Chain A
Amino acid sequence: MPYISGNMNNLLYHFGNYFILMTKVFAKPEKKRIYYHQFLQELNNIGVSSLGIVLIISLFMGSVVTLQTAYNTESPFLPKYLIGLGCRDSMILEFSSTMIALIMAGKVGSNIASELGTMRITEQIDALEIMGINSASFLILPKIIASLFFFPLLTLISIITGIFGGWLSVVFTGVIPVPDFNYGLQYAFNPFFVTYTLIKSLFFAYIISSVSSYYGYTVEGGALEVGRASTKAVVYSSINVLLFNVILTQLLLS
């Protein structure tokens, strides 16, 4: 029992601190031009620099999903075009939002936490505070906005790349006829699935950027603690992404 109550206290402590930090983050920006400059930098750090990994992973995942579906549904009762449909819907519904979010939690989350953590232990955050700058807002808000702006874009890019990867695998292996695959891609398309995945990506963007910022910003100690904060950022961002994936799916698709 004391173990459970201790963990509960710890959870409430972090919840409280997280929301206090967020009230500081969403305060009115001091000088919008400087914030805009920061936002552009974060677009590059968070978004553009993640394009490569998103493209590579999506291309191969789309390809593998297509091949696995094809090899595991060799039934005369199932039409071949379902493989195209399976590739399209798995990319749109789950892979491009959730899987990419988990990968981004690892890449962007650890990057944000270690950057802010290092700034904290080297007193760079104190230097901002001394100047009378709201350091939480100045450092974290551009990261959150850049993530909200770029994650949906990455999701769309991932969908397109993944489907293209599936198409390539069909072309090069001949596992099913290409026209069947193309027909499956267009069959029973529900545009709301794209809206659903973009809504999810917005939530995931906020979760990853804000949770990672929280763990980085509140580091106390030295380099070891920065490493721990970075790990925590990835773990708790990922858990929250998975939790909200279930909640949002139930809310949006039920």
Chain B
Amino acid sequence: MIRVEHLTKVFDDKIVLEDISCTFEKGKTNLIIGQSGSGKTVLLKSIVGLIQPTKGDVYFGEVNFTKLNFIQKKDIRKKIGMLFQGAALFDSATVEENVMFPLHMFTTMSDEEKIERTNFCLERVNVTSANNLYPSEISGGMKKRVALARAIVLNPEYLFCDEPNSGLDPQTSILIDELIQDITKEFNTTTIVNTHDMNSVMGIGEKVMFIHNGRKAWEGDNKDILYSDNEELNQFVFANQMAQELRKARAGRNT
């Protein structure tokens, strides 16, 4: 479980996050949603420690992560897997080397065991026969899946995904969402996904937090989200024409 308490982040004089408190549960896909520029990525990066919050605390279990130094943070970071928006695969390494990298760094496995584990993770994300290709030689969707394989190769307790569907077609997006959800259940991870894709929200949003202008504006799940009274959330959820039609139809049925 991850707990965020009164987290605030200020860049120069601009308040990007203001007094965010929330809990992300183990074994669930927790979604942070909001418009572009609402502060989702800053929140995610503050949770994993890539950005130092101005105020507030982040607890991984009972450990206050924000109070730890670089060396102490290492122990927790080894339990973290992260899927970045652009996949962040190492350009100079092949698919196999990318996935195997954390094993080289943090395990004492033999070469055979590393290869076996790497192949298992690649098969788990449906990437086969691409072990010797470089990131520049594979598609965007495949890059995301390889990055996901790298994120889970050390059996993480915490999985973070920053905009996993950005730049992907709807079919591949659904595939990635399903993978994230399956992995969350299979490895019993605390998963946090940053997204503004409503398909993801409806598909895998077991717990959803909506951020608006740097503040937590709503919290619930994908079943409640369509029935909220929060105007900002409704503007976000029903942003496209089809969703607006649905909303009108639903309102018509209710009267």
* Other-chain contact of B78, A122, A127, A131, A134 (Cβ < 8 Å): A131
Nearest CB of A to B203, in Å: 25
Q: How far is the CA of A196 from the CA of B245 in the complex (A)?
A: 80
B80-A130 in contact (CB<8A): yes
| A15-41 near B? 1/0 per residue, CB < 8 Å | 000000000000000110010000001
* Other-chain contact of B104, A31, A122, A123, A134 (Cβ < 8 Å): A31
Nearest CB of B to A30, in Å: 7
| B79-99 near A? 1/0 per residue, CB < 8 Å | 010101110111110000000
B104-A126 in contact (CB<8A): no
- Given A31-B105, A34-B104 in contact, is the A132-B50 Cβ separation under 8 Å? no
B102-A126 in contact (CB<8A): no
B102-A131 in contact (CB<8A): yes
B88-A132 in contact (CB<8A): no
- Given A31-B104, A34-B104, A34-B105 in contact, is the A131-B77 Cβ separation under 8 Å? yes
Q: How far is the CA of A211 from the CA of B185 in the complex (A)?
A: 47
B73 at the interface (CB under 8 A from A): yes
Query: What are the 3 tightest A-B residue pairs by CB atom distance, in nearest-first order?
Result: A132-B77, A132-B74, A123-B88
Chain A residues, Cβ within 8 Å of B48 = 130
Q: How far is the CA of A124 from the CA of B143 in the complex (A)?
A: 13
A118-148 CB contacts (< 8 Å) to partner B: 118-119, 122-124, 126-127, 129-134
* Other-chain contact of A126, B84, B92, B101 (Cβ < 8 Å): B84
B134-187 CB contacts (< 8 Å) to partner A: 160
B102-A123 in contact (CB<8A): no
Least CB separation from A134: chain B residue: B70
B84-A133 in contact (CB<8A): no
Q: How far is the CA of A134 from the CA of B92 in the complex (A)?
A: 19
Q: How far is the CA of A134 from the CA of B70 in the complex (A)?
A: 9
Nearest CB of A to B208, in Å: 24
25 contacts across the A-B interface (CB closer than 8 A): A31-B104, A41-B92, A118-B91, A119-B91, A122-B86, A122-B88, A122-B91, A123-B84, A124-B90, A124-B91, A126-B50, A126-B88, A127-B82, A127-B88, A127-B90, A130-B48, A130-B50, A130-B77, A130-B82, A130-B160, A131-B77, A131-B102, A131-B106, A132-B78, A134-B70
Least CB separation from B104: chain A residue: A34
Chain B residues, Cβ within 8 Å of A132 = 73-75, 77-78, 106
Nearest CB of A to B43, in Å: 15
Number of A-B contacts (CB under 8 A): 50
Least CB separation from A131: chain B residue: B102
A86-133 CB contacts (< 8 Å) to partner B: 118-119, 122-124, 126-127, 129-133
* Other-chain contact of A133, B45, B80, B105, B160 (Cβ < 8 Å): B105
Q: How far is the CA of A130 from the CA of B73 in the complex (A)?
A: 10
Chain A residues, Cβ within 8 Å of B86 = 122-123
Nearest CB of A to B154, in Å: 8
Chain A residues, Cβ within 8 Å of B106 = 131-132
Least CB separation from B81: chain A residue: A130
Further pairs besides A30-B105, A134-B70: 6, Cβ < 8 Å: A31-B104, A119-B91, A126-B45, A127-B84, A131-B101, A132-B73
Least CB separation from A125: chain B residue: B88
Q: How far is the CA of A119 from the CA of B92 in the complex (A)?
A: 10
Centre residue among B80, B88, B106 by max chain A CB count within 10 A: B88
Chain A residues, Cβ within 8 Å of B75 = 132
Chain A residues, Cβ within 8 Å of B78 = 131-132
Nearest CB of B to A177, in Å: 53
Q: How far is the CA of A126 from the CA of B44 in the complex (A)?
A: 12
| A33-53 near B? 1/0 per residue, CB < 8 Å | 010000001000000000000
Q: How far is the CA of A41 from the CA of B91 in the complex (A)?
A: 14
Chain B residues, Cβ within 8 Å of A124 = 88-91
B105-A123 in contact (CB<8A): no
- Given A31-B105, A122-B86 in contact, is the A129-B91 Cβ separation under 8 Å? no
Q: How far is the CA of A34 from the CA of B106 in the complex (A)?
A: 11
Chain A residues, Cβ within 8 Å of B73 = 132
Q: How far is the CA of A34 from the CA of B104 in the complex (A)?
A: 8
Nearest CB of A to B149, in Å: 13
Chain A residues, Cβ within 8 Å of B90 = 124, 127
